[in-house]
Amino acid sequence: MPKVWFITGVSTGFGRALAEALIERGETVVATARDTAKLSELAEKAPAQVLALPLDVTKPEMIRTALDAAIARFRRIDVLVNNAGYGLLGAVEELSDEELRSQFETNFFGLVKMTQAVLPLMRAAKSGHILNLSSIAGFRGVMGGGAYNASKFAIEGLSEALAMELAPLGIKVTIVEPGAFRTDFAGRSLNAAARIIDDYAATAGTVRSGISAMDGNQQGDPHLGARAMIEIVGSETPPLRLVLGADALRGVRKKLDEVAAELDKWESLTVATAFKDGVKAISAS
């Protein structure tokens, strides 16, 4: 029986590639984006399989309206793909409060609101799968990407807790961590801090220019990434984390090695923080 997939951010990138792959497989897709004009081709190609809806994940009323329409049409949601989001470059000191909060409103709080809205349906069905699009930047920080890193790290922490909460209810959670894929991330979907501080030219500044130059030359194929996501949803034992791309795999392994080496180096100091045997704590009062 075909699954019903609810996908945010379907206008381009992973969202678009995933929707196209699902339609080819005969699956049912609720395709959402802020601009539904970009979804018309999908809906026209397979009107029985596709419901195209406007959705800005930062607006709770639009989330509710889109879900109501999806349930009225298909009666259930089997897979939620939280894909909507964008990148923001800039050294931490360069970021304005407005830029930082806007990043979190879309990338993190929008994902939380969307998930909270869908969960009652999945709990009632005692089944479901949630794919939260993170990034290698949600596992490994990079200079110039502090805001984006923080929003994706937040998704990872939330998803780890969510996976443990939902496992007894028959609902699965997977964090998707792509590396550099040929999507709009380094182009249309990339913002930069308005403020530039010259002292960061050799650090955050190089990342800002380097990522923009990468646009259109990334090694990752979003259509193959979409197939990988579909494959793990079909697995009886899907991973908590799905790393996509050789570059992302190298980044994850490099950080794990660095953390292990640092733990070993400072282990004696780490464990020398307990009360000594027979010594009672001194009351602060």
- Return left, alpha or beta for 13; rule: phi > 0 is left, psi -120 to 50 is alpha, else beta: left
Strands 171-178 and 241-244: parallel
b/e code 164-195 from CB counts within 10 Å (16+ = b): eebeeeebbbbbbbbbbbbbbbbbebbbbbee
- Cβ-contact 177, 225 below 8 angstroms: no
Reference 127, options 170, 186, 190; nearest CA is 170
Q: Which of 11, 152, 159, 200 is catalytic?
A: 152
Reference 187, options 167, 217, 164, 143; nearest CA is 217
Longest dimension (CA), the chain: 76
Q: Tell me the C-alpha distance between 4 and 98, whole Å.
A: 36
Q: Which of 11, 113, 148, 159 is catalytic?
A: 148
Whether 280 is catalytic is no
- Cβ-contact 251, 179 below 8 angstroms: yes
Q: Tell me the C-alpha distance between 107 and 79, whole Å.
A: 19
Whether 285 is catalytic is no
Whether 200 is catalytic is no
Q: Tell me the C-alpha distance between 148 and 243, whole Å.
A: 18
Q: Which of 134, 135, 151, 159 is catalytic?
A: 134
Q: Tell me the C-alpha distance between 136 and 243, whole Å.
A: 8
Residues with a known catalytic role: 134, 148, 152
